[in-house]
Amino acid sequence: MTQTILDYADLASAQGKDLGYSNYRVVTQEQVNTFADATDDHQWIHTDPEKAKDGPFGGPIAHGYLSLSLQIAFWTELFDVTGVKTKVNYGLEKVRFPSPVPVGANIRMKAVIAEVEEVKGGFQIAVDQVVEVEGATKPAVVSRGLYRFYA
């Protein structure tokens, strides 16, 4: 993994830039339990490994929104912009969870800058983001992230 670093002045020409892949990281039961506590979502398929063994996935799985939220950590591995005063995570578009993330799985993210748009005082970039589970045939999360940079 190599982090792409662009200067603010170069953002306008970044459309189509392939940012590559983040490093893999393992999703642990401790992370899942902490996320369950934070969101008050203690569904057994996430937090009860014994019961989840007999469930549809053969073990506990991460919450979809936990897998989604890890995109922030992956994003910071892949990309940074210099020469700015403010960086804003502006939102998401078209979020999907095509397959589960089993606890203990390794996941990583691939990202491509799909669009660059000038906004008042800065630029907004739309980034196509795909979280993959090592060895799986379908991605775990597919989304378009919106990020703003102000000089």
Integer Cα distance of 100 and 108 in angstroms: 14
DSSP secondary structure code for residue 49 in this structure: H
Integer Cα distance of 18 and 80 in angstroms: 13
Whether residue 97 contacts residue 140, with contact meaning beta carbons closer than 8 Å, is answered with: yes
| Residue 79: φ, ψ to 5° | -150, 145
State pTM to two decimals: 0.92
By CB atoms closer than 10 A (0-12, 13-18, 19+), residue 11 is buried
Whether residue 113 contacts residue 75, with contact meaning beta carbons closer than 8 Å, is answered with: no
- The rounded average pLDDT for each run of 10 residues, N- to C-terminus, in the chain (151 residues) is 92 96 98 98 98 97 97 94 97 96 98 97 98 98 98 93
pLDDT of residue 1: 75
Nearest-5° Cα angle at 8, 117 to 10: 75
* Full 3-state SS string of 53-88: CCCCCCCCECCHHHHHHCHHHHHHHHEEEECCCEEE
**CATH of 15-150 given 3.30.930.10, 3.40.50.280, 3.30.365.10, 3.10.129.10:** 3.10.129.10
Query: Could you state, in order of their start, the residue ranges of all structural domains in the chain?
Result: 15-150
